[in-house]
Structure 1
Amino acid sequence: MTGLGEQIVALARLSLQDPRAGVRSLLALGVPLPARTIGLLLMAVASAFLMHLGYLVLPPTDDPLALFMMESPLRAAAVQWLVLAGSVLLIFRIGRAWSGKGSLPDTLLVVVWLQVIMLGVQVAQLVVFLIAPLLAGLVSIGGLVLFFWLLTSFIAELHGFASRGKVLAGILVASFGVAMVLVLMLSLILGPEALGNV
């Protein structure tokens, strides 16, 4: 592995060891805006692909949302892209509302990079489920903790916030609000019965 591959692995290692330093190094690369935009699309497609692999291993039964996503890989990729794009806008807008300094292009890059790392976690979860299903739950919990740790640290560095605790609190409040909106939208799209399974 040489060149770009080594750079990505080194940056991923740094991001896991010191997330704020990882973001500084990431932003210093000067990735062109078109590459950032394409990266968001590629991450949406890759995430949808891994999701469908997971459905093949463990098919959903009575989860309307999972069944809705499973019906069409293209639909799943589109939904993933909308979620990622929405995350970019929320992180940028809310951060700026609290006097953050992060730009929209930098927010886009940070979200893409976070998704790159979490795709690696998804692959690990899938492998563990196939090899040792009893450990899959622990890996999932570890992945969730890692996600919030990285997201909090990345946003804090992106916007220049000193307190990660306050950033985490903001993430949780915003996530709750978004979840309520999504539940309402799902109930309109999939029907009121979907509320009992979300």
Structure 2
Amino acid sequence: MTFTPNTVLNLVVQTIKAPQEGASTILSMGLTRDVLAQLLCFVVVVSVLTGQLGVFAMGGGLQDGAMTGPFLMSPLVATFVQFALLIVLITSVHVIGRALGGRGSFEESLALVTWLQFILLSLQVVQIVALLLFPLLGGLIGLLSIGLFLWLLVNFIAVIHGFTSLGLVLVGVIISAFGILFAMSLILAMLGLSFPGSL
């Protein structure tokens, strides 16, 4: 497949309309781990830059710490945090899926989580434009992005590991998310840290 803006856009639309077909198309490319790692880094950096652009486009700035949060105040920190969270997600999709009887490889998890992040990045660009023109529509797109993330993630996991029940995959995702958050909270507590906003 020749990568052009048009083909990538068509693949994004295809994936949103038919997540499992889009996921299969991505996996059929057979991208190596090195290439996928580079693509993940690229998507993370562009995503952080887009987020920063959105903050300033809406009239925010470094002085608005209460609104933008500590991560947006430092693009470098934001990049590290987002990259770390994606690595946790990729590893969880692979390890937990295999533990539950899945057959997917780490490269497949890396490929589809990276593609998922790219789709969310595309929606982020649309949301910024919408916020500038129609603020209410921009907020709705933000809510849509959350639902789309969960829907695509469930379908992608099913494709990666060969699971047939999306309902069971959804339950597994929810339980795993709570487990991971609990484990991260314990680790942060032992390090004397806490999530932003927590007591």
Give TM-score scaled by structure 1 length: 0.87
Residue number in structure 2 paired with 1:69: 71
Give ranges in structure 2 of 5+ residues lacking alignment. Answer: none
After superposition, the C-alpha distances for 1:1-27 in whole angstroms (9 at most, x for unaligned) are x93114322322221121111111111
Cα drift, residue 127 of structure 1: 1.1
Against the structure 1 CA distance between its residues 190 and 98, is the aligned structure 2 distance closer, same or farther, given a 3 Å change threshold? closer
What secondary structure is seen at the aligned counterpart in 2 of 1:194? Answer: coil
- Matches of 2:107 and 2:122 in 1, distance apart? 23
SS of match in other structure, 1:44? helix
Q: Secondary structure at the match of 2:155?
A: helix
Counterpart of 1:95 in structure 2: which amino acid? G
What does 1:46-85 correspond to in 2, within 5 Å? 46-56=46-56, 57=58, 58=60, 60-62=64-66, 66-85=68-87
Partner residue of 2:150?
148
Secondary structure at 1:189's aligned position in 2?
Answer: coil
Task: Tell me the alpha carbon deviations over residues 89-141 of structure 1, each in whole angstroms, 9 at most, x when there is no partner.
Answer: 00000000100011001110111111111100111111111111122221111
SS of structure 1 residue aligned to 2:197:
helix
Equivalent runs, 1:9-28 vs 2, <5 Å:
9-28=9-28
SS in 2 for 1:195: coil
Q: Confirm whether residue 105 of structure 1 aligns to residue 107 of structure 2.
A: yes
What is the aligned partner in structure 1 of residue 41 from structure 2? 41
Identity %: 31
The match for 1:4 is 3
Query: Cα deviation per residue 1:58-111 (whole Å; 9 max; x = unaligned)?
Result: 455436xx5321232111111111111111100000000100011001110111
Q: Quick one: structure 1 residues 141 and 194, their matched pair in 2 at CA, closer, same or farther if it must change by over 3 Å?
A: closer
Q: When the two structures are superposed, what TM-score results if normalisation uses the length of structure 2?
A: 0.86
What is residue 189 of structure 1 aligned with on the other side? 193
Is 1:125–1:140's contact at 8 Å kept on the other side of the alignment?
yes
Q: How many equivalent pairs are there?
A: 192
* Partner of residue 114, structure 1: 116
Structure in which a larger fraction of residues adopt helix: 1
Q: 1:182 to 1:132 in 2, by over 3 A?
A: farther
Contact kept, 8 Å, 1:183 with 1:195, in 2: the verdict is no
Partner AA of 2:20 in structure 1: R
Which one has more relative contact order, counting CA pairs under 8 Å at least 6 apart?
Answer: 1
Q: 1:131 aligns with which of 115, 124, 133?
A: 133
Q: Which residue of 2 aligns with 1:92?
A: 94
Whole-angstrom CA distance in 2 between matches of 1:103 and 1:169 = 21
Q: Look up the SS of the partner of 1:4 in the other structure.
A: coil
Q: Indicate the larger mover: 51-60 or 136-145.
A: 51-60
Instruction: Map residues 137-176 of structure 1 onto 2, 5 A cutoff.
Output: 137-176=139-178
Q: Letter of the aligned partner of 1:11 in structure 2?
A: L
Change (3 A) 1:188 1:136: farther
